[in-house]
Amino acid sequence: MNARYVGVGDRVKTGQILATLDDTEQRADVASARASVESQEASLRIAQSVLKRREALAATGALSRQQLDSAVQEFQSAQNDLVAAKASLATAEDALVQTVLRADADGAITARTIETGQVVQPSSTAFTLAHDGELDAVFNVQENVLSARDTPPTIEVSLLSRPAIRAKAKIREISPALDTTLGTVRVKLTIENPPPEMTLGSAVVAHVRYGSSERVKIPWQSLYSLDGRPAVWVVDPASMQTQLKPVTVLRYDSATVVLADGLTPGDIFVVDGGQFLRNEEKVAFTDEAVQ
């Protein structure tokens, strides 16, 4: 590379020169391709002149059909050679243009992988340019949060250093792959109309609001089965007898089970040892055992 004009963090405009490469070889290729085009153009003119002369002779019967066909083939071959030469010239000129690296859009340079004097291979990455426009915020979210809830009605992001600066956001992408090390899923949020202070690379916090509702949450070991359905052993405080009560599970968390219905606040249920109980079995417990 001959010269580099921008670095990481610099803002650039469309068409701005980012770097230039040594174009000696490319200029030589262009000159050779142009010479080839000129040579093929001369060959085509000669072939065209020969064809016209033989067509005139063939019209008078002084020339055989075979000789005329030979002139036609030579003319067509010259045409094809000229097309190929022009294509080679266009390729060489494009390679010469590529020795000047320009920004394809307004934005900011986020990465640089080349230095002045470095030998750069074709198609290798030189810069990473983040285009201006909507910004994305990336978060690693626990898998059970995503599987347990619908899309939140409202999402906002705020600057970590300045919480008062906020903007609305919406979910753009949820990765299908799970990070098995952390148990998280990568979620990308598109920030709508980001304020000027919220720039590329800013640390942000997401504020998610879900619709609230009261639910009963029980330890997973409290869950039992009644005819293949989820159930919980409850204790009637008046008769002190047990009863296996069907429940509806809303979701399973890592250590608890959230119920949609079946239990109400204040119900006494058995946390552990349900496998030893029967319906209408009389039990006793101390105040310390009741949670």
Q: Which domain CATH number covers 251?
A: 2.40.420.20
Residues 232 and 193 in one domain: no
Long-range contacts of 246-251 (CB under 8 A, 24+ apart): 247/223, 249/223, 250/215, 251/144, 251/147, 251/148
Q: What are phi and psi of 45, to 5 degrees?
A: -65, -40
Q: Domains in the chain: how many in total?
A: 3
Q: Is the predicted pLDDT of residue 225 greater than 80, yes or no?
A: yes
Question: Which structural domain, as residue segments, surrounds residue 66?
Answer: 3-112
**142 in the same domain as 81:** no
**121 within some domain:** no
Looking at residue 48, its pLDDT comes to: 93
Let me know whether 140 and 196 are in one domain.
yes
Q: Are residues 8 and 104 in the same domain?
A: yes
Q: What is the pLDDT of residues 170-186, one digit of tens each?
A: 888 888 888 888 888 89
Predicted confidence at residue 153, as pLDDT, reads 67
pLDDT at 49 over 90: yes
Lookup: tokens for 195: 């304020």
Q: What is the pLDDT of residue 230?
A: 92
Has residue 118 been placed in a domain?
Answer: no
- Pair (143, 169) in one structural domain: yes
Neighbours of 40 (CB within 10 A): 19
| Whether pLDDT at 238 is above 90 | no
Q: How confident is the model at residue 135 (pLDDT cuts 50, 70, 90)?
A: confident
Any domain includes 128? no
For residues 235-254, one letter each, b for 16 or more C-beta atoms within 10 angstroms of the residue's C-beta and e for the rest, the string is beeeeeebebeebeebeeee
**H helices within the chain, ranges in order?**
24-60, 65-97, 143-148
Total Cβ atoms within 10 A of residue 98: 14
Give the other-Cβ count within 10 Å of 118's Cβ: 13
Same domain as 55, residue 22: yes
CA nearest to 232, candidates 240, 256, 242, 213: 242
pLDDT at 288 over 60: no
**Helix (H), strand (E) at residue 139:** strand 135-142
SS3 67: helix
Query: For residue 130, is it within any domain?
Result: no
Residue 213 has pLDDT above 80, yes or no: no
Same domain flag for 188 and 235: no
Mean of all residue pLDDT scores within the chain: 86
One-letter amino acid at 77 equals S
Same domain, 56 and 37: yes
CATH code where residue 101 lies? 1.20.120
| pLDDT more than 90, % of the chain | 30
Whether residue 276 lies inside any domain: the answer is yes
Residues 31 and 80 in one domain: yes
Residue 278 lies in a domain: yes
Q: What is the CATH number of the domain that holds 158?
A: 2.40.30.170
227 and 189, same domain (yes or no): no
